[in-house]
Amino acid sequence: MHRVYNSAFMNMLKDEENSKYRLTIRNVLEFSPEILRRFVNFMNNPDEKTAVEQFGKGDKYLGICLMMATMPGLPMFGHGQIEGFAEKYGMEYRKAYWDESVDQDLVNRHIGQIFPFLRKRYLYSGVENFAFYDFFTPEGHVNEDVFAYSNRAGNERAIILYNNSLRSTSGWIRISTPINMGSQDETDLQSRSLVQALDLRTESNVYYLLRDHRDSLQYIRSGRQLADEGLFVQLAWLSVPGLYRSRRDSRFRWNLGPTGRQIVWQRCA
């Protein structure tokens, strides 16, 4: 596969040119979704300033890093990025000249907030089931600062939402932006609903459990509600719900896994 180094990811998200980068994704999906799979997304490289200098070490860095970990394509981490190193590197440097210590707090935040997604790259790297959404506010306009997308693989599903802005917001996602389901020569643009993209059942007695990865809070939504209304979300700086399919039935009961983060269905005796 011929890879494409996607510098727009770094530059546009750093400068919060969110509408421009959303348009980039939309244009790719309308032309050939397979191009997304070829992208190498990165936050720094030997020719650029370090990730720490460009994005800092706070929520903005972690939010964009999470996008890098969950978008189709290949995420590329720079030298010393996870450790929080600020010294620039490259072929012209024979050795490190700065005496830097590992930022263990930043490493721990990667372990808790980024690495779980990297372990599931099989869920995020493909484009066959990828869908990109407009985020509609209660006033009815699209908030271009919010990146909302979903993907699935096998029985696993995920919805990612990231607000690349200092302004909090709330709104709905329901219908995807157009995706070319044909070829580059014979375009067939189609939009999919959230339930179609995630292959969800829409009966009123079927429920889905959503877990917010950041605070582990869990929410229940019926398949019927997701089909009719979509998903309503309140976003501050960063909110990352993960969607897990669950079925409410009198023969089943709910149990939390040992870490409190995984939902396990167990048949009652």
Burial bucket for residue 23 (CB in 10 Å: 0-12, 13-18, 19+)? middle
Judging by DSSP bridges, how do beta strands 241-245 and 231-235 pair with one another? unpaired
Residue 150 φ/ψ, nearest 5 degrees: -135, 160
Domain residue limits, the chain: 4-88+99-121, 127-267
Of the CATH numbers 3.40.50.1110, 3.50.50.60, 3.90.700.10, 2.60.40.1180, which one belongs to the domain with range 127-267?
2.60.40.1180
The reported pLDDT for the residue numbered 237 is 62
Residue 227 φ/ψ, nearest 5 degrees: -70, -45
The reported pLDDT for the residue numbered 5 is 94
Q: How many CB atoms sit inside 10 A of residue 188's CB?
A: 10
Burial bucket for residue 79 (CB in 10 Å: 0-12, 13-18, 19+)? middle
Cα 173–Cα 176–Cα 179 angle in degrees, nearest 5: 165
Residue of 237, 208, 205 lying closest to 221 (CA atoms): 208
The reported pLDDT for the residue numbered 259 is 34
The reported pLDDT for the residue numbered 238 is 54
Summarize pLDDT for 87-126 with one digit per residue, the tens.
888 777 777 878 899 999 999 999 999 999 999 999 999 9
For tokens 């800092």, what's the residue?
56
Q: How many Å apart are CA 149 and CA 153, to the nearest integer?
A: 14
Half-sphere exposure of 56 (CA within 13 A, CB side): 9
pTM: 0.86
Summarize pLDDT for 23-45 with one digit per residue, the tens.
999 999 999 999 999 999 999 98
Burial bucket for residue 94 (CB in 10 Å: 0-12, 13-18, 19+)? exposed
DSSP string spanning the chain?
Answer: ---EEEHHHHHHHHTT-HHHHHHHHHHHHHH-THHHHHEEEES--TTS--HHHHH-SSHHHHHHHHHHHHSSSEEEPPTTTTTT--S---TT-SS--S-----HHHHHHHHHHTHHHHTTHHHHS-STT-EEE--B-TTS-B-TTEEEEEEEETTEEEEEEEE-SSS-EEEEE-BBPPEE-S-SSS--EE--BHHHHHT----TT-EEEEEETTT--EEEEEHHHHHHH-EEEEESS-B-EEEEE----TTEEEEE-TTSSSEEEEE--
- List, for the chain, all residue ranges whose pLDDT scores fall below the cut of 70: 1, 237-269
For tokens 């939390």, what's the residue?
256
